[in-house]
A and B are shown apart, each in its own frame.
Chain A
């Protein structure tokens, strides 16, 4: 049969529709644990359109209760108070669809996305591998259903026909060349034309695709346009259109094929270096730099290994790229196994960004900053992104929270600049060293309500205070704490030996009569 298809040169398209993809994604994620939380609650996914939250997708339970996409969420809640609502996450849906598409690789290399919730597989000539087209449909259906998806499939000679069938007559396999008969009985909505055309056809009493197809071409073209005619022809199997491939093509790539598969590490690295240089040239010609490089190693036996490195700033410097790949390959827990050798190595550049031409460095600062960036990239390639961190200032009054450590590679320019806490004429307002944890001090003598201490004892040593300034009153971030947090009165003090400390009293006089005292830092 497969050979027959090839001879007649007819393509065969399998349409897979996942009508409840957004809710399936969530219930799958929740897994069996979901039972304990809210097993019977209907679930909907909501999205904000035209300034109102509307239902974007409903699970089977919600659908059975009459909730439909497009319905305002407020109405739905008024109907069913015990409704579980998640916010729509279109990128996650898309990512899931892409994952399913990759999984579909096993049936055919030609997989296309039919967003937002469908896939199109060109299964021309592959049916026999799975016990015929019917068998193929059943396997797809079964496996996806076992994964927790609601699935509808149909197979026909064109994408439009297959899609129409999967939505309105799932399970149908239209015999080659009989697409028109197969879809004749479907409602016109199955053509997935724009709403105005569907409405116009319905108003004319043409409610099925068959009824539409029975009108003369000039009649239809004059009213609904040529594009509609082309689409109709495609659905009826009278014309074909290619599928667009799934994996988004990399922005730029360079590849090398080997007549004899290579196995030697040096040869592999040398090839990679050539590719890096070639790719760098392409990038420069385009005025671009890449923030992600992926080396793809195709093994002769069909296995594919992908290795990626990222950079903090867009780059196209072959040396830098190679240094990163070396670090990456060196640190692989599971080494690059060439097996019987690689017959193709490809280097892809992703996340390309505009990068100006190389400018000579006049400023040492810029060079130093770039040196740091290179170091960060190298360290990150070796130890992992999360383990190379950098301090960034935080926008808060709380001293110990004033800075945070974040992965250095991703450190975006901070929202707040480092604040200068010291005027030239003034003593510093923050200590050079902040203790990791404020330490209680004892034996404090201070006048109520807000005078600085006269003496205190810290780590068994008595300090008599000669000079003091303050208080600086800092209230805690009340919304972060369950209980009421006392405010702090900070004092800068200097003892008789000239040592300077940063002390605070926890609890201002109005809050507590028995305050606790702490030391929070030492000045130089």
Chain B
């Protein structure tokens, strides 16, 4: 029996369908449909997924055809119409139609009227979907549609199971007959299998913001709207067999398939009369001469030739020219940028200025990263200064126009936390319960809510409602929720982009994005350029500006002196606060072990502290080999199957240990005999969510394959785990190389110019791992004088100034003050002249608001007027908020009566320090723990440095302020960083101890830890916690020199945030 289901709604009709497009592909193949038509609500977002679903190699060869269409839903009362393009041109019109509807609506909506069809109907086949109780509106639609699109209109008939199906069918038949359109059978499918009804009800409730109890008739009455086998459809339509046969005729009218979408690189940058390849070659040799003023080295010349040849063969010239064009714009505007990605580390990219990694310095073979067989476009991501990326984006729109340039979409999917939260709501669970269930999930990236996580939230997973909610939440995970714009992935085309895929507005003004995400584009071989933002580039540019202003030296990313040993010396000591990528605690632990001495070591350093190598347990073997504790051997197959050194080429540079993503992939190809396509499929399966079934298959193939060929089973297992670890955070060598370059540059600045580094880093905040307090402390430890913000000296930004001895010092800017506005700061700076001599002058000349004055006084910024915080506050509070009366202003006389200078009690230093923290999140005067030192000394509590200097295995009691709390992944330990006036101390709390001291671990600001010191041979110190005591109360000693409350209950302290935040909250990473 032949039948094609043409009315399929997937979950890309957001919160309407309850099955993934891939699930339909599988189900339809197994049920042996003739074809299936994916028609989502005013969107084509799910069609590539369906296309992809049919690629599943497990499916039988005999597959249904995929028809691509959309269900047009109108706002003017017209019944829904399924529209299928018969050919490529009609497909373009469907895209234009949907784009038009999207452009007149807000993000995520699409407003269509029947009239829109007049413009775009050509070549589209229409199936009119009558509502349950149809009447005049359906007749009117048929009337008009048969006029504009004769012989391209069908009337859908579906069995509703509402008790009057036979009568309804007769009425439909007679309506079809009177307009001479064929009746066509559909089941108006919402899910692929009847078991999905529950999920369907849940997504309906989520969409309608209702609980199941409230939703009533908004829910479907039964579970009939699933994909039904052709035989069943034939039985249901036994009285109307022509309607079934019509589906085949309909499918046969359509010749369009997705692989007909041909992509054209934009042609802009090529001057007339030249081919793209010629132009690229010209630019390349020009660039090479600039890069190597002393003459192009032979090896480079050779590499360039080779690469250009490859580019020519693959026809990539346009792509490189496009990226070059964007980068050239950035360079003109002095916006720092750097490319990365598989193609980025080519010599061509270096001489074109796309990257600054010298191919002489690192041997990254470009062709190794371009897959041999696939016509996959090369991959270059370009990072720009995060503060100026918007300029680049607007330039792209200007240059290519909105119909040829748009951002990629990101499919926002349900994650465990959001899924349980929404499903919980639908079940009527209180917010507290769902929040608790959700908070049991540490890290929101897991693919499933597990039973123990439910228990962790103190819930019994056997409770029926909870169990159901968790079960359905698990089904919902991975479902698309809505489309959003990708952070920076641009699609640029020569032809109209809106005839390839619909485009719609983003939430931001002047931003437009397409309906497909990067996987979809990959799948169809459409090029995209990632225009990304990187905070460190902003920091480096600011540092370069400071060099220019204060030292009159100009630098670029490529001209920083290379390979200086003192820079590596610094990194080996883990002196890396603020340095790009290697400043995290894990990286700082790795530095002294890895002891980077040259650029490639940094590449490894960047790549090794990643989930991939860690989960694959590759880190320790590499470190052991590096320091000579273990021999470098290459895992080898049984001689029967291949040469013993087959992996030497793959793993040669990393001492026989796979560290980079492409090594792991290559390993699958060489050692487990994957085809390049399979390896690519493996990578994609890992990167995209919910390919549970396919992953198992790959797992078997890879591990089984390696063992069969004589590899060690443990090694095979670890290799696969590593690939799993790469997941969506795959880290290829080329990325690592680009990042490593920024590691070196930022380390170089920090090493030689700590004041410049700290200043630039502070001005580029928020970025990186450390709060301003740590950056400032680090700068001071490196001998930089740091000066407080002051109304007479500060700018908005932090600045450098020569102190009295002529040495460069860092002056904190007004931006460091909480609650300060940039405009008000500008008023102060503009009216400053030769300085303010008094508060009165400041008020009259700058005209700033009273609350700004209070903020400045709170921040202790009046010292240059001889007033400390307390005096200044007392003085500014007296100033009236309104502008001075003109008469007084003219007379330049103080408006208020004179007041005798009030003798206020002196403010103790400890209170000043606390106030500094409240306003600046740091203090230059002292460190809070200092004031507790005497007390702690008496209690025999050690400082951080004292503890760190104790011998390995020694039992200590040490206390400090909690800087960072971290519990990596599913880890069985919590990492805490303590800090005090002497330095920082890293503590580990193992899970068993954590469970006992959970409250202290999670809640304390000041923590006393008792435990044993553990020292590694490289001198990395950890305090292994045995007991934790919350000493946050001690902080009160710093401020409460006044009376304390009496009585049985501590008083309600007013909960103004400023009073609560005695110290900046620690940064917690869950």
Q: Which residues of A are in contact with B by a Cβ distance under 8 Å?
A: 19-20, 46, 48, 53, 63, 65-66, 68-70, 73-75, 77-82, 85, 87, 150, 152, 167-171, 185-187, 189-190, 195-196, 198-200, 203-208, 211, 215, 218-219, 222-224, 394-397, 416, 426, 429, 469-475, 477-479, 482, 487, 490-492, 510
- Decide: A78 and B998 in contact? CB cutoff 8 A: yes
- Decide: A195 and B1054 in contact? CB cutoff 8 A: yes
**Binary CB contact string for chain B from 454 to 484 against chain A (1 if under 8 A, 0 otherwise):** 0011100000100010000000000000000
- Decide: B896 and A187 in contact? CB cutoff 8 A: no
Which A residues touch B224, using CB under 8 A? 473
Take A66-B1003, A75-B1002 as given contacts and tell me if A416 and B216 are in contact as well, using a CB distance cutoff of 8 Å. yes
Q: Which of B162, B873, B1052 contacts A203 (CB 8 A)?
A: B873
- Decide: A189 and B899 in contact? CB cutoff 8 A: no
Which B residues touch A82, using CB under 8 A? 458
- Decide: B439 and A78 in contact? CB cutoff 8 A: yes
B residues 409-449 in Cβ contact with A at 8 Å: 427, 430-432, 435-436, 439
- Decide: B163 and A470 in contact? CB cutoff 8 A: yes
Q: How close is B461's CB to chain A, nearest CB, in angstroms?
A: 15
Q: How close is A347's CB to chain B, nearest CB, in angstroms?
A: 41
B residues 805-825 in Cβ contact with A at 8 Å: none
Give the nearest-CB partner of B872 in chain A.
Answer: A203
- Decide: B1002 and A79 in contact? CB cutoff 8 A: yes
**Binary CB contact string for chain B from 992 to 1008 against chain A (1 if under 8 A, 0 otherwise):** 00000011001100000
- Decide: B439 and A74 in contact? CB cutoff 8 A: yes
- Decide: A223 and B877 in contact? CB cutoff 8 A: yes
B residues 219-237 in Cβ contact with A at 8 Å: 219, 221-224
Residue from B215, B869, B877, B906 whose CB has the most chain A CB atoms within 10 Å: B877
- Decide: A75 and B1003 in contact? CB cutoff 8 A: yes
Q: Which of A19, A68, A77, A205 contacts B907 (CB 8 A)?
A: A205
Q: How close is A272's CB to chain B, nearest CB, in angstroms?
A: 44
- Decide: A479 and B1058 in contact? CB cutoff 8 A: no
Name the segment of B368-376, B564-572, B1039-1047 touching the other chain: B1039-1047
Question: Sorted from nearest, which 6 A-B pairs have the closest CB atoms?
Answer: A395-B216, A472-B163, A207-B1042, A205-B905, A473-B161, A195-B1056
Q: How close is A182's CB to chain B, nearest CB, in angstroms?
A: 13
- Decide: A187 and B1043 in contact? CB cutoff 8 A: yes
Q: Which of A168, A205, A471 contacts B1047 (CB 8 A)?
A: A168
Q: Which of A63, A70, A477 contacts B1060 (CB 8 A)?
A: A70
A-B contact pairs, 24 of them (CB 8 A): A53-B435, A65-B999, A78-B1002, A79-B998, A79-B1003, A81-B457, A81-B998, A150-B1048, A186-B1043, A187-B1044, A187-B1045, A189-B1053, A199-B1056, A205-B905, A205-B906, A206-B904, A223-B878, A395-B218, A396-B216, A473-B222, A473-B224, A478-B197, A479-B212, A482-B464
Take A199-B1058, A204-B870, A479-B212 as given contacts and tell me if A152 and B1049 are in contact as well, using a CB distance cutoff of 8 Å. yes
Give the nearest-CB partner of A478 in chain B.
Answer: B198
Take A73-B432, A475-B223 as given contacts and tell me if A203 and B161 are in contact as well, using a CB distance cutoff of 8 Å. no
Which B residues touch A65, using CB under 8 A? 999
Instruction: Report the separation of the CA atoms of residues A471 and B222 in the bound assembly, to the nearest whole angstrom.
Output: 12
- Decide: A80 and B999 in contact? CB cutoff 8 A: yes
- Decide: B904 and A204 in contact? CB cutoff 8 A: yes
B194 at interface, CB cutoff 8 A:
yes
B56 at interface, CB cutoff 8 A:
no
- Given A187-B1044, A473-B221, 5 new contacts (CB under 8 A): A53-B435, A73-B435, A150-B1048, A395-B216, A479-B427
- Decide: B1051 and A167 in contact? CB cutoff 8 A: yes
Instruction: Report the separation of the CA atoms of residues A79 and B221 in the bound assembly, to the nearest whole angstrom.
Output: 45
B1055 at interface, CB cutoff 8 A:
yes
- Decide: B223 and A487 in contact? CB cutoff 8 A: yes
Give the nearest-CB partner of A60 in chain B.
Answer: B1049
Instruction: Report the separation of the CA atoms of residues A211 and B1047 in the bound assembly, to the nearest whole angstrom.
Output: 21
Q: How close is A476's CB to chain B, nearest CB, in angstroms?
A: 10
B1030 at interface, CB cutoff 8 A:
yes
Give the nearest-CB partner of B218 in chain A.
Answer: A395
Instruction: Report the separation of the CA atoms of residues A314 and B999 in the bound assembly, to the nearest whole angstrom.
Output: 55
- Decide: A169 and B1047 in contact? CB cutoff 8 A: yes
Give the nearest-CB partner of B426 in chain A.
Answer: A479
Take A78-B998, A81-B998 as given contacts and tell me if A203 and B896 are in contact as well, using a CB distance cutoff of 8 Å. no
Which B residues touch A68, using CB under 8 A? 1053
Which A residues touch B468, using CB under 8 A? 479
B523 at interface, CB cutoff 8 A:
no
Main secondary structure, interface of A, reads: mixed
B508 at interface, CB cutoff 8 A:
no
Which A residues touch B166, using CB under 8 A? 469
- Decide: A394 and B1048 in contact? CB cutoff 8 A: no
Instruction: Report the separation of the CA atoms of residues A171 and B1048 in the bound assembly, to the nearest whole angstrom.
Output: 10
Take A75-B1003, A215-B902, A396-B217 as given contacts and tell me if A53 and B432 are in contact as well, using a CB distance cutoff of 8 Å. yes
- Decide: B915 and A203 in contact? CB cutoff 8 A: yes
B874 at interface, CB cutoff 8 A:
yes
Q: How close is A469's CB to chain B, nearest CB, in angstroms?
A: 6
B164 at interface, CB cutoff 8 A:
yes
Which B residues touch A170, using CB under 8 A? 1046-1048
Give the nearest-CB partner of A479 in chain B.
Answer: B212
Which A residues touch B188, using CB under 8 A? none
Give the nearest-CB partner of B215 in chain A.
Answer: A395
Give the nearest-CB partner of A70 in chain B.
Answer: B1055
B residues 159-177 in Cβ contact with A at 8 Å: 161-164, 166-167
Q: How close is B529's CB to chain A, nearest CB, in angstroms?
A: 37
B383 at interface, CB cutoff 8 A:
no
B275 at interface, CB cutoff 8 A:
no
Give the nearest-CB partner of B469 in chain A.
Answer: A479
- Decide: B439 and A200 in contact? CB cutoff 8 A: no
Give the nearest-CB partner of A196 in chain B.
Answer: B1056
Which B residues touch A487, using CB under 8 A? 222-223
B255 at interface, CB cutoff 8 A:
no
Q: How close is B620's CB to chain A, nearest CB, in angstroms?
A: 32
B1059 at interface, CB cutoff 8 A:
yes
- Decide: B874 and A223 in contact? CB cutoff 8 A: yes
- Decide: B1054 and A85 in contact? CB cutoff 8 A: no
Instruction: Report the separation of the CA atoms of residues A168 and B1045 in the bound assembly, to the nearest whole angstrom.
Output: 6
Instruction: Report the separation of the CA atoms of residues A186 and B1044 in the bound assembly, to the nearest whole angstrom.
Output: 8
B575 at interface, CB cutoff 8 A:
no
**Binary CB contact string for chain B from 120 to 148 against chain A (1 if under 8 A, 0 otherwise):** 00000000000000000000000000000
Which A residues touch B1059, using CB under 8 A? 195, 199
Which A residues touch B1058, using CB under 8 A? 199
B583 at interface, CB cutoff 8 A:
no
Q: How close is A141's CB to chain B, nearest CB, in angstroms?
A: 11
Q: Which of A80, A205, A211, A394 contacts B870 (CB 8 A)?
A: A205
Instruction: Report the separation of the CA atoms of residues A473 and B435 in the bound assembly, to the nearest whole angstrom.
Output: 37
Residue from B163, B198, B1060 whose CB has the most chain A CB atoms within 10 Å: B163
B499 at interface, CB cutoff 8 A:
no
Which B residues touch A479, using CB under 8 A? 198, 201, 212-213, 427, 468
Instruction: Report the separation of the CA atoms of residues A508 and B1060 in the bound assembly, to the nearest whole angstrom.
Output: 63
- Decide: B902 and A189 in contact? CB cutoff 8 A: no
Q: How close is A95's CB to chain B, nearest CB, in angstroms?
A: 21
Residue from B194, B212, B221 whose CB has the most chain A CB atoms within 10 Å: B221
- Decide: B869 and A510 in contact? CB cutoff 8 A: no
Q: How close is B854's CB to chain A, nearest CB, in angstroms?
A: 8
Instruction: Report the separation of the CA atoms of residues A28 and B329 in the bound assembly, to the nearest whole angstrom.
Output: 72
Take A222-B896, A469-B164, A474-B222 as given contacts and tell me if A203 and B1002 are in contact as well, using a CB distance cutoff of 8 Å. no
Q: How close is B58's CB to chain A, nearest CB, in angstroms?
A: 26
Instruction: Report the separation of the CA atoms of residues A196 and B197 in the bound assembly, to the nearest whole angstrom.
Output: 56
